[in-house]
Structure 1
Amino acid sequence: MQKFVFAIGSTATIFTLFLAIRAFGIVSPEPPAMQVAQQPNCKDPQTQVEINACSGIEYQNADRRLNQVYQQLMPKLSAARKQKLILAQRAWINFRNANCEFERSQFEGGTMAPAIQAGCLAQLTKTRTTQLEEYIKSDL
């Protein structure tokens, strides 16, 4: 019985710590990693596990592209504008994460919740990437 109580207490402590870290914005939310025996067929996913995995992959690709474009934009800016972009990007990340967490909450506890969150993260990230690409094209 003591082992059981200890295990429950330890799990609760870890979970509380995780929530505190996320609440202070130290960690950007990532869709839960899905364990799939083989690579999912993202052209035609057949199961919720595949849909969740493919949504996570889509978000990872979108985030990678966003970071590439951000790195292309930064050298084109003056020091003052770089600071403004950094502030704007941090605010945008906080908005994106909170907004997608809200969207996910409608399906909390359901098997499609990870796909909803990852899809939201991917879509907003792609939109932000397009915005940053426009700044690059405008020759600032």
Structure 2
Amino acid sequence: MSRRIFAVVCCAIWSLTGAQTQKPVDCYTVDDFLGCSANQFRLADTRLNQIYTKLLGRISAMNGDPRTTSALKVQVVQAQRDWVKVRDGTCGAIITYNHAGSGGPSNQDFVFTLNSCKTQVTTSRSSDLIFLFDSLTPENKK
């Protein structure tokens, strides 16, 4: 059941991330699911990196006090580094919770759960960065 839900989530993320130019992977076997989950995370991570790069570019191009833009850039870079730690901790906690009392996850379950979690959290972070990017338009500056 959870794998079917994941397949639906993968398709939704695939369509939202602009990944339509890549050939979709059929996810019918366990190995396909592992490949799909890894591919979906790579796509989400690539999209996040593109948004992050655009955000840093927008900050660099901002007019105003250079000390303010420099401080903003430092803050955004540090927030992103902190977010990576939160992502890894969150996904680690989910793996621990999902497999508590089971003697630990199999390697396949571990990889699938980790990729699924990282995809979901990374997609959410992309939305956060898009919001910040949009907030830094000249029209929104007060």
TM-score w.r.t. the length of structure 1 is: 0.65
The count of aligned residue pairs is 100
TM-score w.r.t. the length of structure 2 is: 0.64
**In the alignment, which residue of structure 2 is the partner of 1:119?**
116
Provide the alpha-carbon RMSD of the alignment.
1.8
**In the alignment, which residue of structure 2 is the partner of 1:59?**
41
Tell me if structure 2 keeps the 8 A contact 1:104–1:114: no
Q: Relative to structure 1, is the Cα distance of residues 83 and 41 closer, same or farther in structure 2, using a 3 angstrom cutoff?
A: closer
Q: Structure 2: which 5+ runs fail to align?
A: 1-22, 60-68
For residues 33-79 of structure 1, the C-alpha deviation after alignment (integer angstroms, 9 at most, x for no partner) is xxxxxxx963x411111111100100001001100000000122211
| One-letter code aligned to 2:109 | M
2:92 to 101, 117, 134: 101
Structure number with greater CO (CA < 8 Å, separation at least 6) is: 2
Q: Relative to structure 1, is the Cα distance of residues 58 and 80 closer, same or farther in structure 2, using a 3 angstrom cutoff?
A: same
| Cα distance in 2 for residues equivalent to 1:47 and 1:132 | 35
Kindly indicate which of the two structures has a greater share of residues assigned to helix: 2
Q: Structure 1: which 5+ runs fail to align?
A: 1-39
Q: Percent identical across equivalent pairs? A: 26
| Cα distance in 1 for residues equivalent to 2:24 and 2:119 | 18
**In the alignment, which residue of structure 2 is the partner of 1:21?**
none
